[in-house]
Amino acid sequence: MLKSLRRIALVILPLVLVLAACNGANENGANGSDQPSQVNNQSNGKQQIEVFHFWTSGSEADAMNMFYNAYHNVRPDVEIVNSAIAGGSGSNSQGVLQTRLAGNDAPDTWLSHPGVELMEQYVEGGFLQPVTDIYEQEGWLEVIPEDAIKMVRHSDGELYAAWVGIHRGNTLFYNKKLLDKHNIQVGSSLSFDEFFAIAEKLKSANIPALCVGDKEIWASVQVFENTLLGVAGSKMYEALFNGTASFDDPKVIEAIETYGKMISYQNADHSSLSWDQAVKKMMEGGCAFNSMGDWVFGELNKMQYKPNVDYGWVSHPGTDGSFIIVADSFTLAKGAKNEQNAKDWLKTIGSKEAQEAFNRVKGSISPRTDIDSRKFSEYQQWSIKTFKEGKLLPTATEGSAAPAAFQQAMYDAAAVFIVNNDAKMMSRALVNAAKDAGMTK
């Protein structure tokens, strides 16, 4: 993992440096119930800490409880105020958080993606205090690779967030029993041609091939981003986000058209479902494939489905050998109301024991090099192997590859495209968004 994480800087750090003046929350993405996983917001005389995040699906709630339990073991005297806002990729929580920050009402700690999102929105905005001393006190500088450290280090030399996990964004999960029923086999790799051939076969049986839950548009944008990588390739993908290639390139047009073809096979109720509801629909046989980050694994595990029996996985078509990184971390607010409690929170969630418990449930992998990977699932073993050997890439959907302005413009362009299927219009919108966000060179 050390060797792999060293490659992160080559992919993401240059983007941070280029975009820092202009400017990865998702994954890492989550949606689900409008109710937080654990609400403890009534003052009863205890000390408190407010934890702000958007992890509210079943598996995400369970994963957060791993952190909460670890924290309660360390600080039983502190009441956790769980400020969870449902909405995948931070689609709803971002607006709430920005309003609170503007009103000088910051939570003590909040979920953020290392990279552009962390630097542009929070460090450059003056909303965070450094956590460099925690890294030094806890010995994290020895167990978290330097290239991961760089993703939370500002040009002032200080570190501004505690790492908790790394997700893979470009995984294609599928209902194995459903495909078996229709004599459809998926190997270790899947091309676009193979996917579309399967989609046609399923269509003849009145089964949508692609399960999408884009009640919040980011879930469909994730399909687009994965397809962009699959069609354009990793070199072009990198060039688009570092400003050396343009979104009107013929390969981008082809990727948009391919994205359009993919979503032509999606479930009719896609716009009424959250991402985790789409996963549930897939496993109930309502559709076959789901292109999403591997927080899907957490949901499948939560629902007690068995890998390689009930479901399988493969890289999104065309993306073998690439790993789109959706990284997660927690911050420390400047002037935090409960500063010491928040510092103890960061120390706890950054520990080896807490991260092993959390990531096993969440579906992610830990950035710590001293984690025992043998404790992780079969799927996560595959993810770890891909992470070690693959091409590491940032994500615009989840905030690490591009400024927030471009991210929102990409969401808007995809929403329009779903209605009008005009690839050139979407391309022009992305070209203009990149220019407006200062991404072009």
Distance between CA 134 and CA 149 in Å, rounded? 13
163 closest CA partner among 272, 24, 271: 24
Mean pLDDT of all residues in 187-216: 97
What is residue 373's predicted lDDT score, i.e. its pLDDT?
A: 86
Is residue 12's pLDDT more than 60?
no
Q: pLDDT: is 16 or 243 the higher one?
A: 243
Query: Where in the chain are the domains?
Result: 15-168+326-389, 171-323+398-436
Mean pLDDT of all residues in 432-440: 95
Contacts of 405 (CB under 8 A, 6+ apart): 22, 433, 436, 437
Give the model confidence (pLDDT) of 44-100 as tens digits.
Answer: 568 999 999 989 888 999 999 999 999 999 999 999 999 998 865 556 788 899 999
398 closest CA partner among 94, 24, 119, 12: 24
Contacts of 257 (CB under 8 A, 6+ apart): 423
pTM above 0.95, yes or no: no
Q: Which CATH superfamily is domain 171-323+398-436 in?
A: Periplasmic binding protein-like II (3.40.190.10)
Give the model confidence (pLDDT) of 146-195 as tens digits.
Answer: 878 988 999 999 999 999 999 999 999 999 999 999 999 999 999 999 99
Q: How far is CA 73 from CA 66, 218, 341, 348, in A?
A: 11, 36, 13, 10
- Contact between 132 and 159 under an 8 Å Cβ cutoff? The reply is yes
With H, G, I as helix, E, B as strand and everything else as coil, classify residue 311: strand
CATH of domain 15-168+326-389: 3.40.190.10
pLDDT category of residue 207 using cuts at 50, 70 and 90: very high
Same fold, 15-168+326-389 and 171-323+398-436: yes
Structure tokens at 337: 């109301």
